[in-house]
A = this chain, B = another copy of it.
């Protein structure tokens, strides 16, 4: 905790608490879990995950034990504490009252592309099209998969699954929007 601020909004902390609230896990498993779920709107490197977990343990939000004393891999299992659960719920119950500003490098490039050779801009737009199309495909596969998560008889999704699906839908809508914009951008650059 900083001496300058009274609170921090350290998102990674809440992500780790959120997943550990489902059950104990190792740092490695948390990394895999993040990559396969929140990864498309919030990612982290393993180095940051391991150091944050250690800090959280110092702060009493999680506790850790080795899988077994014979485990040669020295796998450390993290468990959320009561204090950690409390902090997670308090954060969730405090509504976010501002907008997160975008940070999109590619738009910076486009903003200053008036001085570039239009042909090169078109080539770069084509690369982005390809990349965004492949991202869309990944998301659509994830969406297909989530449909098999429902209740075996009714097919109903749990509350948690409904929210997971919602965040995935944002990913899909974002990619669709981005591709529409890329097409528009190509039209504008060509029409010069």
A interface residues with partner B (beta carbon < 8 Å): 9, 11, 14-15, 18, 21, 37-43, 88-89, 92-93, 95-116, 120, 123-124, 127-128, 131-132, 135, 158-167, 169-171, 173-174, 176-177, 180-181, 184-185, 188, 192
Contacts and interface: CB of A to CB of B under 8 A. Distances in A.
Of residues A120, A161, A163, which shows the largest number of chain B Cβ atoms within 10 Å of its Cβ? A163
User: Interface SS of chain A: helix, strand, loop or mixed?
Assistant: helix
User: Can you tell how many copies of this chain the complex includes?
Assistant: 2
Given A112-B163, A181-B173, A42 B103 contact: yes
A127 B95 contact: yes
A170 B11 CA distance: 26
A100 to B, nearest CB: 5
A43 B103 CA distance: 8
Given A124-B95, A128-B96, A102 B166 contact: no
Contact of A108 (B41, B110, B115, B174): B41
Nearest to A99: B131
Contacts of A38: 107-108, 111
B107 A170 contact: yes
Nearest to A117: B93
B99 A135 contact: yes
